[in-house]
């Protein structure tokens, strides 16, 4: 029997490990553990654009301006929001005949980096230097390149000269400050900057951030630990410590929440709506679920080069034949509003009088008959040449919600005699090749993420159609080209008067609903799974994360 002991011993050890548990959790929590589904690869604010990174950095730094939860542009790092009325923004005529703008910002007086060094205009100029350098590896450089000059007034005040006047002049969300006193050395060789930046080589350096929290530990692929930053100029946050934990599998994420290993699942990168609704019905005693329909526009791009889809009647019939209202009611509990176009109903420019294209199978059938696609009995419609009315609907493989919607749509189209075949690809293939190179033969279902009042130049302007001769740049993957749409886009961009701009926006939305280059589906909702004791989290519904207001979060228990 001597040989049995190792087994016995290891079983005892296992049991002991199972029963030794850390002391009971404190009543009033000063630590918050947040679960998200993605781990940020780099922590440099201007390299790569990943939601997980924006989420974490929302706690450690602030952009100059951001949209708040009422979708109004507000100042974060600046003192006063520049407008033309208050004189801080001034349109100017440029030598080449175009119109530019000069915008003046003042940095918050108390702003200091975590190592005590004040945030100054030196950092602003340095960030601009990095941003416009072609070798620095900054992802979105457009905003930096548009800046022709920065005039420094003093330590905290500066004026930016932009070579193009648009109504979005103050939306500087992508201008994220980099500390000059720490990063200058790494930028000595710009081509090596992205490898040498302290954001990745020394991510816990307190001097890299100036927000309410600073990063104290990065466990790659697992979690990031943040603690209060003593140099923060705003109201002190309630939680002493915040841990952001990445668990990719949502079933495992949910299990971690239930077992108490994490406190809260962020809506920005959390459970699918369906999962959240199922969760809510079972655990509403302990958790509250907040749903926020956001600026994620789920839609189906139609390839307008497809001979069948060229016919507008067919496109309208496709839209009329699907019951989007019933779909969102039954799959999403009505929490994802049906979209009438690309503009979100909460956006102030939204036109409320757009045609609804509500479910009407009879009208759809009539339109198809009219377009020459007739049906004998219950099969697929044929045209005069005996060809079948058939399309291929593609989307990202592995996205369960999309796959469900896809199968519902397929089933509904079959009712009116439209045969739809499904073909899905992994996201990297789907976005990397199929959509960007317009390789989908008929329909591609995916989502656009946008900001409030964002101009659809890259998605609807005829110059943005990806072609071999422009190296497949642009995101107008339907191939939509309408001179009137081009005119409206160009006019909106430079119209500073809100009322006139709204009128232009309404015209654009009506034209979109008339031409139907895209079948609008719905706006996706984020679901935030909050423990009952956690208060202060206010979902925004756009790409600015809730963490930008992390200092308002608190444990509501006495």
Partner 1 sequence: MSAPGIRRRDFAARLWRRPGARAAVLVLALLAGGALAAPVLAGLMGRDAETVDLLARLAPPSLAHPLGTDELGRDTLLRLLYGGRVSLLVGLVGAVAAATLGTLIGLVAGYFGGRVDALLMRLCDGFLALPLLPLLIVLAAIDPAKLGVPQSLAGGDDASIYRIVALVALVGWTGVSRLVRATVLSLRERDFVTAAVSIGAGPWRIMLRHLLPNALSPILVATTLAVGSVILVESVLSFLGLGIQPPMASWGSMLTNAQELITTAPELAVYPGLLIFATVVACNVLGDALQEAIDPQQQARESGA
Partner 2 sequence: MSRFLVHRFLQAAALVAIMSFACYALIGLMPGDPIDLLLSSDPRLTPEDVARLKALHGLDRPLVERYLAWLEKAVHGEFGYSRLYAQPAAGVLWPRLVNTAALMGTTLVLAAGLALPIGVAAAARAGTRFDRIVNALCFAGISVPTFWLALILILVFAVSLGWLPAAGIPMARDPGVVDRLRHLVLPVATLALATLGGHVRYVRAAMVEALHQDFIRTAHAKGLAPRRVLWRHALRNALLPYVTVLALDCGTLVSGALVTETMFGYPGMGKLIFDAVMGNDYNLALLALLLVTALTVACNLAADLVYAALDPRIRQR
Binding site for partner 1 (CB under 8 A): 249-251, 254, 272, 274-275, 278-279, 281-282, 326-327, 330-331, 392, 397-398, 400, 403-404, 406-408, 410-412, 421-424, 426, 428-429, 433
The 3-class secondary structure across 262-298, one letter per residue, is: CCEECCCCCCCHHHHHHHHHHHCCCEEEEEEEEEEEE
User: From start to end of 37-117, where are the E strands?
Assistant: 65-67, 73-75, 89-93, 99-106
129 binds partner 2 (CB under 8 A): no
What stretch of H or E contains 332?
helix 324-332
Q: Interaction with partner 2 in 195-224: which residues (CB under 8 A)?
A: 195, 197, 200-201, 216-217, 219-223
Q: Which helix (H) or strand (E) holds 15?
A: helix 5-19
Q: Give the binding range for partner 2 (CB under 8 A) out of 89-97, 98-106, 264-272, 422-430.
A: 422-430
Does residue 440 interact with partner 2 by CB under 8 A?
no
x/- site string to partner 2, residues 260 to 279, per CB under 8 A? xx------------------
Alpha carbon distance 324, 384 (integer Å)? 31
Q: Which residue, 451, 419, 552, 536, is CA-closest to 172?
A: 451
Minimal distance in Å, beta carbon 175 to partner 2?
Answer: 12
For the CB of residue 364, give the shortest distance to partner 1 in the complex, in Å: 17
Q: Which is nearer to partner 2, 192 or 383 (CB)?
A: 192
Residue 147 touching partner 2 (CB under 8 A):
no
Question: Residue 428, interface with partner 2 (CB under 8 A)?
Answer: yes
Coil vs helix vs strand at 403: helix
Which DSSP category does 402 fall into?
H
Q: Which is nearer to partner 2, 98 or 467 (CB)?
A: 467
CB under 5 to 8 A by kind: which of partner 1, partner 2, none does 33 bind? Answer: partner 2
User: Which tokens go with 179?
Assistant: 């500390």
Q: How far is the CB of 418 from partner 1 (least distance, A)?
A: 15
Q: How far apart are CA 377 and CA 366, in angstroms?
A: 15
Residue 547 binding result from partner 2, partner 1, none, given CB thresholds of 5 to 8 Å by partner type: none
Q: How far is the CB of 531 from partner 1 (least distance, A)?
A: 17
Local structure of 181: helix, strand or coil: helix
CB 257 within 8 A of CB 289: no
Q: Which does 315 bind (CB under 5 to 8 A by kind): partner 1, partner 2, none?
A: none
Rule CB under 8 A: say whether 50 interacts with partner 2: yes
Interface region with partner 2, contact rule CB under 8 A, candidates 60-68, 176-184, 327-335, 421-429: 421-429
Q: List phi, psi (to 5°) of 536.
A: 100, -5
Which residues, 6 or more positions from 399, have their beta carbon under 8 angstroms from its beta carbon? 427
Q: Could you tell me how many residues of this chain bind partner 2 (CB under 8 A)?
A: 78
Q: How far is the CB of 144 from partner 2 (least distance, A)?
A: 11
Among 10, 230, 407, 514, which residue interacts with partner 2 (rule: CB under 8 A)? 10
The count of other CB atoms within 10 Å of the CB of residue 230 is 11
């Amino acid at each position: 029997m001597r040989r049995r002991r190792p087994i016995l011993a290891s079983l005892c050890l296992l049991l002991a490990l199972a029963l030794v548990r850390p002391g009971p959790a404190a009543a009033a929590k000063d630590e918050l553990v947040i679960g998200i589904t993605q781990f940020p690869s780099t922590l440099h604010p201007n390299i790569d654009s990943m939601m997980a990174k924006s989420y974490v950095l929302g706690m450690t730094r602030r952009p100059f301006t951001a949209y708040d939860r009422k979708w109004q542009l507000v100042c974060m790092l600046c003192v006063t929001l520049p407008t033309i009325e208050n004189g801080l923004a001034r349109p100017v005529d440029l030598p080449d005949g175009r119109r530019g703008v000069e915008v003046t910002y003042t940095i918050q007086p108390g702003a200091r980096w975590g190592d005590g060094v004040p945030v100054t205009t030196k950092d602003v100029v340095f960030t601009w230097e990095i941003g416009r350098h072609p070798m620095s590896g900054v992802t979105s450089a457009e905003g930096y390149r548009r800046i022709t000059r920065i005039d420094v007034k003093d330590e905290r005040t500066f004026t930016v000269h932009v070579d193009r006047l648009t109504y979005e002049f103050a939306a500087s969300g992508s201008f994220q400050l980099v500390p000059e006193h720490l990063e200058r050395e790494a930028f000595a060789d710009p081509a090596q900057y992205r490898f040498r930046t302290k954001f990745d080589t020394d991510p816990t350096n307190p001097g890299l951030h100036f927000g309410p929290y600073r990063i104290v530990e990065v466990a790659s692929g697992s979690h990031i630990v943040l603690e209060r930053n003593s140099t923060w100029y705003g109201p002190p946050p309630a939680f002493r410590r915040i841990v952001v934990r990445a668990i990719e599998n949502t079933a495992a994420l949910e299990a971690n929440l239930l077992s108490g290993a994490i406190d809260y699942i962020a809506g920005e990168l959390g459970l699918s709506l369906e999962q959240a609704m199922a969760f809510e019905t079972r655990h509403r005693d302990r958790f509250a679920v907040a749903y926020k329909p956001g600026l994620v526009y789920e839609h189906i791009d139609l390839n307008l080069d497809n001979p069948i889809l060229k016919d507008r009647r067919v496109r309208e019939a496709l839209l009329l034949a699907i019951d989007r209202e019933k779909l969102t009611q039954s799959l999403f509990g009505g929490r994802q509003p049906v979209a009438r176009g690309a503009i979100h109903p909460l956006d102030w420019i939204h036109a409320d009088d757009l045609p609804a294209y509500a479910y009407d199978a009879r009208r759809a059938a009539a339109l198809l008959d009219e377009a020459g696609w007739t049906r004998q009995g219950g099969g697929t419609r044929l045209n005069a040449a005996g060809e079948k009315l058939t399309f291929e609907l593609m989307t990202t493989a592995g996205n369960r919600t999309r796959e469900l919607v896809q199968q519902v749509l397929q089933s509904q189209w079959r009712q009116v005699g439209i045969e739809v075949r499904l073909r899905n690809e992994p996201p990297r293939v789907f976005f990397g090749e199929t959509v960007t190179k317009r390789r989908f033969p008929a329909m591609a279902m995916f989502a656009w993420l946008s900001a409030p009042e964002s101009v659809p130049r890259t998605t609807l302007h005829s110059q943005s159609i990806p072609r071999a001769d422009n190296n497949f740049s642009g995101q107008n993957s339907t191939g939509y080209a309408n001179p009137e749409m081009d005119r409206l886009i160009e006019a909106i961009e430079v119209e500073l008067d809100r009322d006139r701009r709204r009128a232009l926006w309404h015209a654009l939305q009506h034209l979109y609903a008339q031409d139907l280059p895209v079948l609008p589906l719905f706006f996706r909702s984020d679901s935030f799974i909050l423990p009952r004791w956690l208060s202060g989290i206010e979902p925004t519904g756009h790409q600015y994360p809730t963490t930008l207001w992390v200092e308002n979060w608190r444990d509501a228990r006495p």
